[in-house]
């Protein structure tokens, strides 16, 4: 069976990673969550005091070569965890502290150049499902299957709010909704690689769709191409 590249892009908290992970497992493909990579850079920037309060973007850019990002398989969860300079940061990168800074950091050209190069290397042998904002437009413009996921902001914020509460984070629904909308605004309007649907992507609105139905439909798309 031929191996393909599957690019899944879309707005924040549209459930891209849940579907991408499941699809990768079903196809026995590699799964890469590129949002985790941008989140790790934001954490690096926060921990060094390069953002939040007084931003010092030139210093962040100067220190990028010191930043080592790695996905390491976690046998307990069966998924991969993000490591930043040898430390497992999987939980920390999902906090609101990081969500509040990540889109600003992701708009920096030097950050994108570094991460896009890593992502292209990870996918050079195909057999990969990658999710993010610019996968079908920039990282793999020749991907054989491209999806663009959407859902209403309220539905997305509700899903994200539940996830954060389950993890014990103290947040209000309004804070989460504001963050989701603000990230979408920055991601869609930045000058470099803005979030947009690739011309040949299938738009997929999952506002009123359960996980099972989404998976079946997307799996079906993949089988038509493979």
Given the rule CB under 6 A, which residues bind ligand C5P? 12, 34-35, 38-39, 102-103, 106, 132-135, 183, 187
Please report how close the Cβ of residue 116 comes to ligand C5P at its closest, in angstroms: 8
What whole-number distance in Å separates Cα of residue 202 and Cα of residue 220?
13
Determine contact, residues 113/17, Cβ cutoff 8 Å: no
Residue 74 vs residues 44, 131, 225: alpha-carbon distances, Å: 22, 19, 30
Residue 113 annotated as binding site:
no
Residue 12 annotated as binding site:
yes
Please report how close the Cβ of residue 220 comes to ligand C5P at its closest, in angstroms: 24
What whole-number distance in Å separates Cα of residue 153 and Cα of residue 121?
33
DSSP β-bridge partners for residue 87: 84
Please report how close the Cβ of residue 94 comes to ligand C5P at its closest, in angstroms: 8
Residue 168 annotated as binding site:
no
User: Is 34 or 206 the residue whose CB approaches ligand C5P more closely?
Assistant: 34
User: Is 27 or 149 the residue whose CB approaches ligand C5P more closely?
Assistant: 149
Which tokens is 164 given?
Answer: 């954060």
Please report how close the Cβ of residue 61 comes to ligand C5P at its closest, in angstroms: 16
What whole-number distance in Å separates Cα of residue 148 and Cα of residue 170?
31
Please report how close the Cβ of residue 133 comes to ligand C5P at its closest, in angstroms: 4
Residue 35 annotated as binding site:
no
Residue 13 annotated as binding site:
yes
Count of beta carbons in the 10 Å neighbourhood of residue 207 = 11
User: Is 106 or 157 the residue whose CB approaches ligand C5P more closely?
Assistant: 106
User: Is 7 or 218 the residue whose CB approaches ligand C5P more closely?
Assistant: 7
Determine contact, residues 145/155, Cβ cutoff 8 Å: no
User: Is 28 or 39 the residue whose CB approaches ligand C5P more closely?
Assistant: 39
Buried b (16+ CB within 10 A) or exposed e, 18-28: ebbbbbbeebe
- Binding site per annotation, positions for ATP: 10-18
- Binding site per annotation, positions: 10-18
């Amino acid at each position: 069976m031929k191996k393909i590249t599957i690019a899944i892009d879309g707005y924040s908290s549209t459930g891209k990673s849940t579907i991408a992970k499941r699809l990768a497992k079903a196809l026995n493909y590699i799964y890469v969550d590129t949002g985790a990579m941008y989140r790790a850079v934001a954490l690096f920037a926060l921990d060094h005091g390069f953002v939040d309060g007084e931003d010092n973007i030139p210093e962040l850019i100067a220190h990028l070569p010191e930043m080592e990002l790695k996905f390491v398989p976690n046998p307990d969860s069966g998924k991969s965890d993000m490591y930043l300079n040898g430390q497992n940061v999987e939980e920390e990168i999902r906090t609101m502290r990081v969500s509040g800074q990540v889109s600003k950091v992701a708009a920096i050209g030097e950050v994108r150049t570094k991460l896009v190069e890593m992502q292209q290397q990870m996918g050079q042998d195909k057999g990969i499902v990658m999710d993010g904002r610019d996968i079908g437009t920039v990282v793999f413009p020749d991907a054989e299957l491209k999806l663009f996921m959407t859902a209403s902001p309220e539905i997305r914020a509700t899903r994200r709010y539940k996830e954060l509460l389950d993890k014990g984070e103290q947040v209000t629904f309004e804070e989460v909704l504001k963050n989701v909308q603000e990230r979408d605004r920055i991601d869609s309007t930045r000058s470099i690689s803005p979030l947009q649907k690739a011309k040949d992507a299938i738009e997929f609105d999952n506002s009123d769709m359960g996980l099972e139905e989404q998976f079946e439909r997307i799996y079906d798309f993949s089988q038509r191409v493979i």
